[in-house]
Amino acid sequence: MITLVLGGARSGKSRYAQALAERAAEVVFLATAQPCDDEMRVRIERHRQERPATWKTVEVPLELESAVRKHGSRSSFLLIDCLTTFATNLMLMGNGNRDVIFAHIDRVCSALRESSASAVIVSNEVGEGIIPSSEMGRHFRDLLGEINQRVARQSDNVILMVAGYPMAVKGTVEVQP
């Protein structure tokens, strides 16, 4: 079972994903963020404190496919948080090369489909906000929209979070707030 959880900033995406994971026996949290500044370090630490201590955390800013393959066969549940920062990491690594980025995403999708673990993937819905003022911002918005579409096609459930409430876009809402 693959579930994609989308939403804007502070919409409850991570909280909902964690509620899904809490029902599993063995959870591996695949963290894609990199502590690039003080604010991000504080944010990462806050997220760590919010997770159960029994969950294994694996930092994977770029090697998400490998982590899904490795841990997807050893655990019952993978929580990927988040696809947005993974896309940012890929964009910076590949100088925005769409072919390179989509090849990574397609390999992650294949690994998720082949995994015996259930997975929930958190990502931002950035297409409903203001139009970014910079070319790079517009490129990122468009890129993430296409990435979300690719992952959504592979997902059994697609959940849109709005003000802390889950709305089923595809499949069903499994946990209520």
CA–CA distance from 89 to each of 2, 82, 98, 157, 176 (Å)?
Answer: 22, 11, 13, 25, 32
Backbone φ and ψ for 56, nearest 5 degrees, come out as -85, 130
Q: What separation, in Å, do the N-terminal and C-terminal C-alpha atoms of the chain show?
A: 20
The yes-or-no answer on residue 139 being catalytic is no
Pick the catalytic residue: 47, 71, 104, 139? 47
Contact 37, 65 (CB under 8 A): no
Burial class (CB in 10 A: 0-12, 13-18, 19+), 62: middle
Chain position carrying tokens 């939403």: 7
Point out the residues that are catalytic.
47
